[in-house]
Amino acid sequence: MANVVVVGSQWGDEGKGKIVDWLSERADVVVRFQGGHNAGHTLVVDGKVYKLSLLPSGIVRDGKLSIIGNGVVFDPHAFVAEAAKLQAQGVTITPDCLKIAENTALILSLHRELDGFREDAASNSGTKIGTTRRGIGPAYEDRVGRRAIRVMDLADLDTLPSKVERLLTHHNALRRGLGHPEVEHQAVIDELTSVADQVLPYMDRVWKILDDRRRAGDRILFEGAQGTLLDVDHGTYPFVTSSNTVAGQAAPGSGMGPEAIGYVLGITKAYTTRVGEGPFPTEQKNEIGEFLGTKGHEFGVVTGRKRRCGWFDAVLVRQAVAVNGINGIALTKLDVLDGLDEIKVCTGYRLDGEEIDYLPASQSAQARVEPIYESLEGWKETTKGARSWADLPAQAVKYVRHVEELIGAPVALLSTSPERDDTILVTDPFQD
Ligand code: GDP
Ligand code: IMO
Ligand code: MG
């Protein structure tokens, strides 16, 4: 029996929420280990839709322990709002079933504002990232800059003023430079103290809880946010998020040793999407892109932005298999391809006249690569809602098999609609 880490193998929005929800039936503990409320994870259970950003997707099932690990950047006000929204949908959220690591760095309104100031300024010069404007990057900067306010600081009101002072020395200098008004010390103290009582009951020594659960033989499911191509090191830098999104981050982002990682499941969409700016070799700015976007409902959960759409890029996913150590994939949204006469798959790139089989690391080379496609015959039958391999048309099976071959990893799960149970199990990641 292995623990399982779920990661996105493309640019996010691969369907991680749906798969984590499905898998969490087999898990005891579900842990978020990076990112923040820039994530948008959609779960559909018997027609009821849950949209999660900060809370682990295991929260909708009773009897599971949900954990927000120290690798997350945590906006306490966003947390309170999301918890209230889910509670109104009937989800139980109590300190018994949710723990937040005491050493988790906070996102404050000054982070959100700085994110927005920078994006606005960059829009004028054409260099914006297209962030979710949730303050993710600035909060991670303060964390590694050793000036973050952390969850545990909410319980230590005597030392909070000096920590806020240190933070504001940095931020107010930045704000002056950007031509924005300074932040008042008391305003930050008020922002923190107003929410402390709603957060502190959930605070705990997460590393200890996880160690105890591991020793007790409990199954731990790690829920990644974003995707491998948005990883701050392995992604399309600088058009990335500010955390390591790859599977290895599950250990330091939760406080466990690397042996806890176990099976790595890469969530992989049967085509490709991306939100925000940056290179996208197989993007289809034409009727194919429109078809995929409309049929796949490709709109961002967090910002409502239209996602850019294109053909499946096997080069990127093959690279994701390598940098995450993916053991198997969950292939999602196969049904969106139903009805196409022809389906293209990118198998390599042409860069300055040469053929390559990887994504080059440099920004300018990434912008220059041209996809090399293979063409496959589509299928006319529907795969939507299929719950067994035998229900799939022969051409769809051929497509899946070809994807496996191109990326060098087997399909462990196949998803054929947003509904929890429209999922085909090939290999149980917990049993592998
Ligand atoms: P995440 O960020 O990786 O959790 O993915 P999102 O929730 O942002 O986006 C995936 C979208 O596709 C959501 O609206 C899901 O409900 C939906 N979805 C997930 N799996 C499938 C599938 O197999 N078929 C279809 N048609 N939709 C799916
Ligand atoms: P889930 O977990 C897709 C993208 C943003 C932007 C870049 C940086 O739902 O897959 P940030 O706000 O993180 O500084 O923005 O990363 N991005 C996502 N794209 N899915 C996500 O999460 C994303 N989280 C961030 O659009 O391009
Ligand atoms: Mg999403």
What would the DSSP string read from start to end of 242-310? Answer: SS--SGGGGTTTTT--GGG--EEEEEEESSEEE-SSS--TTB--SHHHHHHHHHTT-B-TTT-PBPEEE
Look up residue 351 and give its amino acid: L
Identify whether residues 141 and 161 lie together within a single domain: yes
Question: Do the bridges between strand 370-377 and strand 312-313 make them parallel or antiparallel, or are there none, so unpaired?
Answer: unpaired
Q: Is 241 in the pocket of ligand 2 (CB under 6 A)?
A: yes
Identify whether 430 is part of a domain: no
Distance CA 3, CA 254 (A): 13
Q: Is 52 in the pocket of ligand 1 (CB under 6 A)?
A: no
Helices (H), 93-238: 109-125, 136-144, 160-178, 185-199, 206-215
Domain containing residue 365: CATH number: 3.90.170.10
Identify whether 328 is part of a domain: yes
Identify whether residues 80 and 117 lie together within a single domain: no
Q: What separation in Å is there between the alpha carbon of 266 and the centre of ligand 3?
A: 14
- Residues paired with residue 41 on neighbouring β-strands, in sequence order: 52
Query: For ligand 1, atom 18, which residue shows the shortest CA distance?
Result: 418
Q: Domain boundary at 199, 223, 250, which?
A: 199
Identify whether 110 is part of a domain: yes
Identify whether residues 94 and 158 lie together within a single domain: no
Distance CA 72, CA 105 (A): 7
Identify whether 358 is part of a domain: yes
pLDDT the model gives residue 1: 60
Identify whether residues 152 and 13 lie together within a single domain: no
Q: What separation in Å is there between the alpha carbon of 41 and the centre of ligand 2?
A: 11
Query: For ligand 2, atom 16, which residue shows the shortest CA distance?
Result: 241
pLDDT the model gives residue 2: 85
Q: Is 369 in the pocket of ligand 2 (CB under 6 A)?
A: no
13 is catalytic: yes
Identify whether residues 306 and 373 lie together within a single domain: yes
pLDDT the model gives residue 125: 82
Q: DSSP 3-state assignment of 344?
A: strand
Identify whether residues 229 and 288 lie together within a single domain: no
User: Which ligand is closest in space to the CA of residue 14?
Assistant: 1
Distance CA 335, CA 249 (A): 31
41 is catalytic: yes
Q: Is 44 in the pocket of ligand 1 (CB under 6 A)?
A: yes
Distance CA 380, CA 58 (A): 36
Which two tokens mark 295?
């049929």
User: Which ligand is closest in space to the CA of residue 22?
Assistant: 1
Identify whether residues 230 and 273 lie together within a single domain: no
**Dihedrals φ, ψ of 317, to 5°?**
-70, -35
Identify whether residues 90 and 111 lie together within a single domain: no
Those residues with Cβ within 8 angstroms of residue 260's Cβ, 6 or more apart along the chain or in another chain: 3, 210, 214, 220, 250, 251
Domain containing residue 165: CATH number: 1.10.300.10
Identify whether residues 82 and 164 lie together within a single domain: no
Identify whether 221 is part of a domain: yes
Identify whether 380 is part of a domain: yes
* CA atoms within a 13 Å half-sphere pointing along the CA-CB vector of 13: 24
In the chain, the number of structural domains is 3
Identify whether residues 418 and 327 lie together within a single domain: yes
CB 150 within 8 A of CB 106: yes
Closest-CA residue to 30 (of 54, 51, 56): 56
pLDDT the model gives residue 303: 81
Distances (CA, A) of 132 to 67, 288, 300, 304: 23, 26, 10, 10
Q: Domain boundary at 183, 199, 215, which?
A: 199
Identify whether residues 403 and 279 lie together within a single domain: yes
Domain containing residue 76: CATH number: 3.40.440.10
Q: Domain boundary at 264, 280, 309, which?
A: 264
Look up residue 432 and give its amino acid: D
Q: Which of 37, 41, 77, 234 is catalytic?
A: 41
Query: Which residues span the domain enclosing 136?
Result: 106-199
Per-residue pLDDT of the chain (432 residues; tens, 9 = 90+): 689 999 999 999 999 999 999 999 999 999 999 999 999 999 999 999 999 999 999 999 999 999 999 999 999 999 999 999 999 999 999 999 999 999 999 999 999 999 999 999 998 887 899 999 999 999 999 999 999 999 999 999 999 999 999 999 999 999 999 999 999 999 999 999 999 999 999 999 999 999 999 999 999 999 999 999 999 999 999 999 999 999 999 999 999 999 999 999 999 999 999 999 999 999 999 999 999 999 999 998 888 889 999 999 999 999 999 999 999 999 999 999 999 999 999 999 999 999 999 999 999 999 999 999 999 999 999 999 999 999 999 999 999 999 999 999 999 999 999 999 999 999 999 997
Identify whether 121 is part of a domain: yes
Q: DSSP 3-state assignment of 321?
A: helix
Question: Do the bridges between strand 220-223 and strand 105-106 make them parallel or antiparallel, or are there none, so unpaired?
Answer: unpaired
Identify whether 432 is part of a domain: no
Sheet containing strand 411-415, edge to edge, reads 203-204, 98-101, 65-68, 29-32, 220-223, 4-8, 263-269, 328-332, 411-415, 423-425
Identify whether residues 95 and 110 lie together within a single domain: no
Which two tokens mark 97?
């079933």
Distance CA 302, CA 320 (A): 24
